[in-house]
Chains A and B, each alone.
Chain A
């Protein structure tokens, strides 16, 4: 069969669930199991251009996720998910070496004062510790409910969650939509989220980006804040961030401007985030916006370049075709290219790996309520990207 291949006739889940490749050479996708309490399912393909089949369906997380992020370390897929309505945050793991689920619905935190807008992201260290960041308990200030962002670490043997620690500084501000990504070379992880002094409750726009680094010893670097960027005037979350050569970056659509904006963080010599920028990518894309979350994905190819895809096209993104752009620094991006025409993209998430003779940007996307697998060949002939490109010097980003 030819690509694309249908995985399941159910909608994509907001967040980040790209396809993965196991050490055994199989391919996996974590998807909504079809609603009605079917939960989160793992699908496997030995040839993703042929078909996928569900794995260990009897032991899956039988919940309806609102947000889901999946990250790979070795043959383990680490999942963090927020459950609809009650905003409880859970963790689970899928082992691609034996195709089994584990740690199902392990509670990270059940915020007592629900966040108004749910969000969760995670990544895993090389030693198996897991770090989750999410919209936590909201505080109340002068009668207004204020969104907060927290970090929570899973470690030890047997592993347990540490309890929430604040990422933000509180006060009469809203914070939300934190994303986390591990550096390629170390277990330092960069965290980027959004902030607004907008006094509406709930807020109507994110005005800044903020960032911190959680180090391997769980200590946090000082919070760094971007300048107000007037082009980021939507209350739209960044679905995921990627790390390339000293920069962590994510994509935020801004429908009013019909452009893509990027938030990005540069790191200092000690690998802490020291500069955060929210800026226009200079593209003329028409990104689609689906409620509170952008429909896009960003992935790094080792330490050479960012690759992004998003739903857009037409006026204000109504076409919902899939577009592609790339950047070596998260700041200057190529012009967008239509990657896939004639689709209705409601969700997309991508990864990069070698399949067959090619290095591909493999992506899972929701086309009109049907989750499909597809690939964009980045390098034909299996030429791998350099795993660790020499670190670029720190420079202030263009605003």
Chain B
């Protein structure tokens, strides 16, 4: 389940021009609109909204030590810190995330602008680049290239949390229909591998193939499940 850039591109797409001054291209422009993918402008506010909805339900405490599994570039980690004040670290096994977390998004957004026939340094192309890219590194928090599946990996997480084992482990909406039941169980085992009494929270968006209750039923033991819109909370 280690996503590549192509996986992120396939799962996230935002037509950005219609949300900026000037709007999308008219028919007379003879080109497609610019689309961005797993990029800060589109995703970070969405995760901030999601955590603002979920935190009053989950009540993660400021004294908690939180590990977010599948954290991507850590925008959900930022949101959890903002909502809870808890010491929080993200982990992700994607090499794309590991390779790009300290870089800016500019090169990727330039490529998207160029793909529709615009020059990212001139006119409308430059406006889109300035609107979509803040020129800062993607990650402003710690995201370890780590699956919490081995002892050394778990120790790395403990170190990142200031020598504390996580009291809350969150799978941040990473299970989709491509996951087998065994893989879901393995995820749960990794989250539960710290040996303590940490809360296990699954953020999950139900699909036709796998309901919220299906996930709960699949995983024995104590855990919590919350839908991305906060409408479903099972424990």
Contacts and interface: CB of A to CB of B under 8 A. Distances in A.
A75 interface: no
Given A142-B11, A164-B18, A166-B19, A110 B228 contact: no
Nearest to B14: A139
Given A110-B27, A163-B29, A172-B228, A137 B11 contact: no
A164 B28 contact: no
B113 to A, nearest CB: 15
B137 interface: no
Contacts of B32: 112
Given A137-B33, A165-B24, A171-B46, A199 B227 contact: yes
B112 to A, nearest CB: 13
B189 interface: no
A113 B227 contact: no
Contacts of A165: 18, 23-24
A85 interface: no
Interface in B146-192: 173, 176
B131 interface: no
Classify chain B: how many residues form its interface, as a range. 20 to 34
Interface in A199-252: 199-200
A109 interface: yes
A310 to B, nearest CB: 31
A118 to B, nearest CB: 17
B23 A144 contact: no
Interface residues of A, number: 30
Interface in A105-152: 107-110, 112-113, 136-137, 139-144, 148, 150, 152
B199 interface: no
A156 to B, nearest CB: 11
Contact of B205 (A110, A170, A199): A199
A284 interface: no
A197 B27 contact: no
A205 B43 CA distance: 25
B122 interface: no
Given A142-B228, A197-B231, A162 B23 contact: yes
B171 to A, nearest CB: 13
Interface in B121-139: none
B25 interface: yes
A13 to B, nearest CB: 23
B23 A164 contact: yes
A163 B10 CA distance: 25
A160 interface: yes
A143 B24 contact: no
A37 B11 CA distance: 37
A309 B120 CA distance: 53
A170 B14 contact: yes
A107 B12 CA distance: 28
A160 B11 contact: no
Given A166-B19, A197-B229, A199-B205, A143 B11 contact: yes
A107 B27 CA distance: 7
* Most chain B CB inside 10 Å of its own CB: which residue of A109, A113, A144, A164: A164
A109 B49 CA distance: 30
Contacts of B221: none
Interface in A310-342: none
Contacts of A112: 32-33
Given A136-B18, A142-B11, A162 B26 contact: yes
A139 B176 CA distance: 18
Contacts of A139: 13-15
Nearest to B29: A163
A172 B13 contact: no
B205 A142 contact: yes
Given A112-B32, A199-B228, A199-B229, A140 B11 contact: yes
Given A107-B27, A140-B11, A161-B26, 10 more contacts: A109-B24, A109-B27, A113-B13, A136-B18, A137-B15, A137-B33, A140-B10, A150-B24, A162-B26, A200-B206
Interface of B: 10-15, 17-19, 22-29, 32-33, 42, 45-46, 49-50, 173, 176, 205-206, 208, 227-229, 231
15 contacts: A109-B24, A109-B27, A136-B15, A139-B13, A142-B12, A142-B173, A143-B11, A144-B205, A150-B18, A160-B28, A163-B24, A163-B26, A166-B19, A170-B46, A171-B49
